[in-house]
Structure 1
Amino acid sequence: MVTWINTNFWARVARIILRNRILILAIIAGITVFLGMQWKHMRFTYTEANLLPDDHPVNLEYNKFLDTFGEEGNLIVIAIKDSTLFTPENFNHWNRLSKQLQAKPEISLVISTDNLQELVKNTDKQAFELEPLIKGKLEKQSEVDTIKKELFTKLPFYESLLLNPETQTLRTAIYLDKEIVNTSVRKDFIFDDFIPLIQEFEKETGLKVHSSGMPYIRTLNSQHIIDEIGLFILAALGVTSLIFFFFFRSFRATFISMVVVLIGVMWAFGILGLLHYEITVLTALIPPLIIVIGIPNCIFLINKYQQEVKKHGNQAKSLQRVISKVGNATLMTNATTAAGFATFIVTESKILKEFGLVASINIMAIFILSLLIIPIIYSFMRLPKTKHLKHLNKRWIGKFVGWMENSVRNHRIAVYAVAVGLLTASIIGIYQIRISGSLIEDMPKDAAFFDDIRFFEKEFDGIMPVEIMVDTKRPNGVMKLSTLKRMERLEELIDEIPELSKPISVTNLVKYFKQAYYNGNPNYYQLPTSQENTFILQYARNSSGESDVLSNFVDSTGQVARITTFMKDIGTDKMEGIEEDLWKKIDKELPAERYDVTITGKALVFMKGTKYLVKNLIISLLLAILLISIFMAYMFRSFRMILISLIPNLLPLLITAGTMGYLGVPIKPSTILVFSIAFGISVDDTIHFLAKYRQELAANNWKIQKSVYNALRETGVSMFYTSIVLFFGFSVFMISSFGGTKALGGLVSMTLLFAMLSNLVLLPALLLSLERSIANKKVLKKPAFDVLTEGKTKGKNRL
């Protein structure tokens, strides 16, 4: 039977590689230089990850809001909670800081005590006028005390924005120019101007300034991503090289492997630049992933080369067999790993599509690099010395393989009992998993800006904006008293929800109008009666700058209003309950026949995106299982073998999911990736074992037990080596300060460790228990992929 990829094909590949060594190295160097030139096109993301497709209704509603009111994520806030702020020296410093910030071209507006305007009534003009609260530099403590009293007792309009009267925390609102919010200019301003000014103020006054707001958080979070890329690469190189050297005890083999993976890393960055993709928290993982996934390729190739050298001592023959015998196997394993990543491409999320595409391309690229570079470099070197081959006969490896063989041979019932017990416990744990869509949950918990997020949650009930847009369906409908009263009742409900801040809207401004009309008496900070409404609004219309003030709350036609509140860091399930309560109140107070109401905002879009993404990723995992099942069906031509091969690979996924439930690790974009990644990698061991098992069946006249034990002995060492490298390689991500990356590393490592044990203990046990139904020539037909063919060669040194 002619196969698609057969021994003759790989023999020709081996000849081509070894006869064109210089040309191939020159081509690799040329591609590396070209991709290195693409690094200049790499961009770091300046926006939050949009997990929803562009045409999703939630995105369309958010974009409609942006078209009406502009960018809502341009607010930076700074605050001080310290009674010593209210001294003439410190208070003047605080006001000077506001002036310095306002002078920056990147800032469109600063609202602080320095420029705080008080609304007053001008009876002669029948208009409201804005007068500065502070008129000049404050020299005396009595002057500061007077300002403080007025701030915290007479200006309720500013409570949600600048004041916390209960704790006497003072805040300044800094609005970035909306044009630079999602550009690199924002980053330059934060690091070059904003942070130095804050640090200078703290040094001069000894006061602690808390800084937050979405532009500030996003900038520092992005910088953490950039800083961790280099850390991950160095850590991955260090860990994998140490493990590699421990196994092979050869500086030469370790150096060659490091060269391969470093070129792979350069290609990874180059492909990101070539495709003009942004570096996000996900794509930042690709370079170290290439190191972790590339090293097992090097292990298989170098291990095979050393086995062949030990067997017959012929370098040319050894190199030819490395390519022809191991090339097909490594291609299949890399293809299944790439398939696990490639399934992310079918999701509708841009960030996941890019991650899946670049990761799958680079996995196949590192396979090609290892297959080309390792044999070629070894061809220019002397044969390995005897001491470099000692690792092939290590006693402790033999003991490990012996333990596995003994478990399969004598304790099969115990193996099944443990597997069933783990499965049962895992199913219980799975029911405890929750879904999380928090915008800040994965951010570094030990970062100073994260502490400041908690500070603002405590003092001002959050910093993540949630917007409610109310369309009255007619021009100037917002300022009708009936509409204002309906909005006020909705805002009262929002104010009662502890996870949401006191809302800000046009109703606050209208209440302030009434307070000003009654000479600033805070007891009149309320909506006007129908009798008062006519002449109070007439005062407002006569006021200079009235339209500028209103533009923050109402669109230019007077038809659409916004209600802004800020949300604490809460989970998706809790937010869904809050949203449901809001809609009940909205349906009652703002009926659909008279008003079009939309709830939106960055935090809400992210939460809905998380839930949408989880559904898509579950689909991608099922697709990965389906694709790999089809692949194995084509490879082994046996439906029964598909079932047998899936069991030891699905069980570790279920164990991991159950562990997440018990440990309280939520399902979110970062952790749901674990399953597709781990499945794509762990199935490699199954392919190696089953391919070797089928080969042994043919060589041993279909003697099942002998074939299983031979396959276990001969694939166990390589599978153990690669699994250990993968375990410690993915564990590198646990040094991350990002919760999602840390969870990803730990969960993938754990899953791959369970997968190794499952493939080396449970899979052989299943084959022996079901030998009559699966281990026969009718079931195991000649495979379409001749993964491991040794010809007439026999012995313990085969892969």
Structure 2
Amino acid sequence: MKDAGSPPQKQKLRRRSFWFSFGIERLGLISLKAPLLSALLIAAMSIAAVPGMLSMSVDDSLSELFRTDTEEFRRYEQVSRRFPSSEFDVLVVIESEDLLTPDNLTAIRNTILDLQLIPGLNGLISMFSVREAPDETGLAKALFPARLPEGKAFEALMKRVRGNEIIRGKLLSEDGTLTLVVLSLNKQKVIDIGLKETIGEIEKVAKAALAQTSLHVQLAGAPVMQLEIRNAVKRDRIVYNGLGFGLGALIALVFFGSFRHMLIAVAGPAAAVLWSLGAIGFLGFKLNLFVNVITPLIIVNGFSDSMHLVYNVRRELMAGSGRLEAARTAVINVAPACFLTALTAALALASFIFAESALIRTFGAASTFAVLLSYVAVVVVVPTLAVLLLPEERQIRKPGEGGDAAMGMLSRLSVSLFQHLGRNPVVYVAGGIILTALMGVAYLNLEPHYRLADQVPDQEQALAATSRLDKKLTGANPIHVMIEWKDGRSLYSPEVLAAITDVHKAVEKQAGLGNVWSLETLRRWLGKAGDPSVETLKKYIGLLPEHLVRRFIAVDEKAVIVSGRLPDVDASEILPIVDQLDETLDPLRRKYPAFQFSVTGLPAIAARNSAKMIWELNIGLVSDIIVVIIFLGLAFRSVFASIVSILPSTLPIFATGALLWMTGDGLHFASIIALTVAFGLALDSTIHFLNRFDIEERDENGKVRPIQEALARTARMIGPVLILTTIVLALGLGVTIFSDLPSLRVFGQLSGATLFAALVAQLIILPSTIALLRRYWKPPQE
């Protein structure tokens, strides 16, 4: 057996295919028949893909994650259509310890006057919109006079303001340090003008008007969050592409020691990204917080295959092969494993296509397609460029010569490690089993978690302003109770008004909810003036702006909503509130059989469905692991391959799960997607290891080599590139930790942790398992 520093030998060619490959793994051989023509076709396809990539728009919907084909979600959409105000409200949050001073109130009122002039607004609501209760003549004077009084008169005014039914706890905090201005956007006008321009103008006007005061202003609300999501998604694409390629290129340059090898290693994934995103764009997919992960996913997947191919081409050149022969040998020996890794990754990702969530289904379909197309790009581009760009080697070189020190060092370390493991496999296999079992228990005890804040950039103003509303005004997230009736009753009939009153009281009494608004709010305000008559109610409804009326009364006057607000907390804390409110309405359902009462709103949808959806994805991941392990056995035509891959496949997933359990983070949507993606990528190295071991286990005559020799030869061929590809994978996905989106940062952290755990499993557990089982399970002689 030659040592790790011996000159590389030409690899034997084994024309072999895996099941399910259909000859696709041989695409690289076709490109080698006419490399120059292949290069021209690669350039043409890359140019054609650019318009598709540039055409991709951003899906910034906050509800898309929970879009399902269920009655509950359809009811939520119905509420959004019939009472669209909260979907298009910009919340201007103004704070100061001395908010209620004449100077600051004057500045706020002037700001509101300026905001009303901004194009794209239907109108706004603030404490300056509120009027006094009507007098005996029916006239309702403005609560704030045109000129603010001074002294005792001002103090009396502030007392009335802070005690006003409509203002207190709704538009002004109980301590008088925060006020809320609600801007209702006109959907069509905003589409024409642009959301970015509209929000930008609102922010510019508000901050300019209050610049010389002690008042602090921030914007919140769904439109602001959507804009911040859109900006973060676009910004992340640039960061992912730049850092992903930069890190991959740097690692390739350091370890290959050649600019040409680095260029070829980068060209494969670059073409993969361009072709995949171009195709996805032409197919009409939109960018969202999960689809945005596809870019680093393609980069790392493409880099992995590219590194394996370039490494094998390089070894063949060092062994004295010509460029064409070296590229051909690499394709024959490596491309089948690359195709199998693409299939297993696609299989893992395809499970998302069957998720309930429309957002996750979109990610599943787009990522599955992208991973398969990525393989095609790499297996065609790398051999083509290897033939066209690499020089012929003038003499056979040893590892460590000619700038090859890093690869030689990794090769020697790999051989030494595998030889040690081959002599002492029992300890490491037993340790792997015990660790996997213990960490598996921790994984099974993970609790699902979800917060709206997970979807929104946490370094921007929307969440900061929302947190202030959570603290001062009981929250900014609406829970609605929609009241419907289908008979001929009028909105102002006694039974309809009684039902609204009862529901309003139920929502007010529900712990965890506050800031309750409905038609009943106006009725109470009129009642305090001594005129609660239906005629007066109709009169004031008619005087209110249309955008304000549609907040709680449908156009056909056959439905109303009662809205409460709650803080942005974990869905597990919201669910009891929603369930208790729904139970509280049961007596009212019996009392008013002709009415339908529905508790809805995005927080309610999330609370009811997030835990279920996360566990379904978790079950899908476990199913993926089982299916892929069986799939490997079928592909390799070997039960042995299935069994030895069990520990290396499950240990990384359970290790990351144990990390989540220890930190108390639990399972999020991003956690499950990160684990599934990392599982598919971690299998990449397992498959390449098994493929190389299958080649090296027999000599040129088909005779079985001793296990120590087979492992040493496998280590020499696979060890360095296995380490490099795992580093590229981990760092490539790890760039998502720089995202402004919390869910993507979690994705990057967990992907990196899973992949490094997978590296340990593949360098230690996998060879140990092979060595141990080969003591009792001998391969058949050919």
| TM-score normalised by L of structure 1 | 0.87
Matched, 1:545 2:542: yes
Q: Deviations over 1:406-435 (max 9, x none)?
A: 13422x343134324423432342254221
2:765 aligned partner, one-letter code: L
Aligned residue in 2 for 1:331: 339
**For the Cα contact (< 8 Å) 2:143–2:161, is it kept in 1?**
no
**For the Cα contact (< 8 Å) 2:171–2:179, is it kept in 1?**
yes
Structure 1 window deviating more from structure 2 (64-73 vs 643-652): it is 64-73
Shift of 1:671: 1.0
Q: 1:152 aligns with which of 142, 159, 162?
A: 162
Pairing of 1:569-718 with structure 2 (within 5 A): 569-591=568-590, 593-699=593-699, 701-702=703-704, 705-706=707-708, 707-718=710-721
1:670 aligned partner, one-letter code: A
Change (3 A) 1:494 1:430: farther
Shift of 1:303: 0.8
Aligned residue in 1 for 2:32: 18
Aligned residue in 2 for 1:47: 61
Shift of 1:640: 4.9
Aligned residue in 1 for 2:124: 110
Q: Deviations over 1:252-277 (max 9, x none)?
A: 22223233333333223322321222
Shift of 1:215: 1.6
Helix, strand or coil at the partner of 2:585: helix
Pairing of 1:303-318 with structure 2 (within 5 A): 303-318=311-326
Change (3 A) 1:140 1:756: same
2:567 aligned partner, one-letter code: K
Aligned residue in 2 for 1:165: 174
Aligned residue in 2 for 1:177: 186
Change (3 A) 1:395 1:477: same
Shift of 1:460: 0.8
**For the Cα contact (< 8 Å) 2:85–2:550, is it kept in 1?**
no
Cα distance in 1 between the residues matched to 2:495 and 2:23: 81
Q: 1:136 aligns with which of 134, 146, 167?
A: 146
**For the Cα contact (< 8 Å) 1:648–1:762, is it kept in 2?**
yes
Cα distance in 2 between the residues matched to 1:638 and 1:141: 91
Q: 1:78 aligns with which of 92, 99, 114?
A: 92
Structure 1 window deviating more from structure 2 (607-616 vs 487-496): it is 487-496
Aligned residue in 2 for 1:195: 203
Cα distance in 2 between the residues matched to 1:708 and 1:757: 16
Shift of 1:196: 0.8
Shift of 1:82: 2.0
Aligned residue in 2 for 1:566: 565
Aligned residue in 2 for 1:32: 46
Pairing of 1:394-405 with structure 2 (within 5 A): 394-405=408-419
**For the Cα contact (< 8 Å) 2:91–2:183, is it kept in 1?**
yes
Q: What is the aligned length?
A: 756
Helix, strand or coil at the partner of 2:238: helix
**For the Cα contact (< 8 Å) 1:164–1:170, is it kept in 2?**
yes
Change (3 A) 1:51 1:82: closer
Q: Deviations over 1:484-514 (max 9, x none)?
A: 5665555455445553223111221111110
Shift of 1:738: 2.0
**For the Cα contact (< 8 Å) 1:50–1:351, is it kept in 2?**
yes
Q: Deviations over 1:551-582 (max 9, x none)?
A: 53233555432110112112222222112211
**For the Cα contact (< 8 Å) 2:228–2:460, is it kept in 1?**
no
Pairing of 1:756-795 with structure 2 (within 5 A): 756-771=759-774, 774-777=777-780
Change (3 A) 1:75 1:99: same
**For the Cα contact (< 8 Å) 1:73–1:215, is it kept in 2?**
yes
**For the Cα contact (< 8 Å) 2:245–2:299, is it kept in 1?**
yes
Helix, strand or coil at the partner of 2:216: coil
Q: Deviations over 1:598-639 (max 9, x none)?
A: 111122223444334324423542453354234323222234
Matched, 1:726 2:729: yes
Cα distance in 2 between the residues matched to 1:498 and 1:636: 59
Aligned residue in 2 for 1:282: 290
Cα distance in 2 between the residues matched to 1:552 and 1:390: 70
Q: 2:458 aligns with which of 441, 445, 449?
A: 445
Shift of 1:130: 4.0
Cα distance in 2 between the residues matched to 1:184 and 1:353: 32
**For the Cα contact (< 8 Å) 2:225–2:456, is it kept in 1?**
no
Change (3 A) 1:223 1:183: farther
Shift of 1:300: 0.9
Cα distance in 2 between the residues matched to 1:621 and 1:396: 33
Shift of 1:294: 1.4
1:196 aligned partner, one-letter code: K
Change (3 A) 1:202 1:551: closer
Q: Deviations over 1:197-243 (max 9, x none)?
A: 12212323242113211221221232122222211221112222222
**For the Cα contact (< 8 Å) 1:487–1:589, is it kept in 2?**
no
Cα distance in 2 between the residues matched to 1:477 and 1:9: 71
Helix, strand or coil at the partner of 2:453: coil
Q: Deviations over 1:752-794 (max 9, x none)?
A: 122222123222222333336643329xxx9xxxxxxxxxxxx
Helix, strand or coil at the partner of 2:93: strand
**For the Cα contact (< 8 Å) 1:704–1:768, is it kept in 2?**
no
Q: Deviations over 1:734-760 (max 9, x none)?
A: 222322111111111111122222123
Change (3 A) 1:539 1:490: closer
Shift of 1:656: 1.3
Cα distance in 2 between the residues matched to 1:732 and 1:131: 58
Change (3 A) 1:555 1:590: same
Q: 2:257 aligns with which of 249, 260, 279?
A: 249
Shift of 1:135: 4.3
Shift of 1:143: 6.5
**For the Cα contact (< 8 Å) 2:115–2:206, is it kept in 1?**
no
Aligned residue in 1 for 2:353: 345
Change (3 A) 1:714 1:21: closer
**For the Cα contact (< 8 Å) 1:42–1:277, is it kept in 2?**
yes
Cα distance in 2 between the residues matched to 1:751 and 1:723: 10
Structure 1 window deviating more from structure 2 (490-499 vs 278-287): it is 490-499
**For the Cα contact (< 8 Å) 2:688–2:718, is it kept in 1?**
yes
2:725 aligned partner, one-letter code: T
**For the Cα contact (< 8 Å) 2:300–2:728, is it kept in 1?**
yes
Aligned residue in 2 for 1:100: 114
- Identical amino acids, percent of aligned pairs: 19
1:92 aligned partner, one-letter code: T
**For the Cα contact (< 8 Å) 1:408–1:761, is it kept in 2?**
no
Structure 1 window deviating more from structure 2 (622-631 vs 651-660): it is 622-631
Cα distance in 1 between the residues matched to 2:441 and 2:190: 46
Change (3 A) 1:92 1:373: same
Q: Deviations over 1:169-196 (max 9, x none)?
A: 22211111244678882232112x1111
Which segments of 5 or more consecutive residues in structure 1 lack a partner in the other structure? 519-532, 783-799
Change (3 A) 1:183 1:220: farther
Change (3 A) 1:49 1:41: farther
Helix, strand or coil at the partner of 2:674: helix
| TM-score normalised by L of structure 2 | 0.89
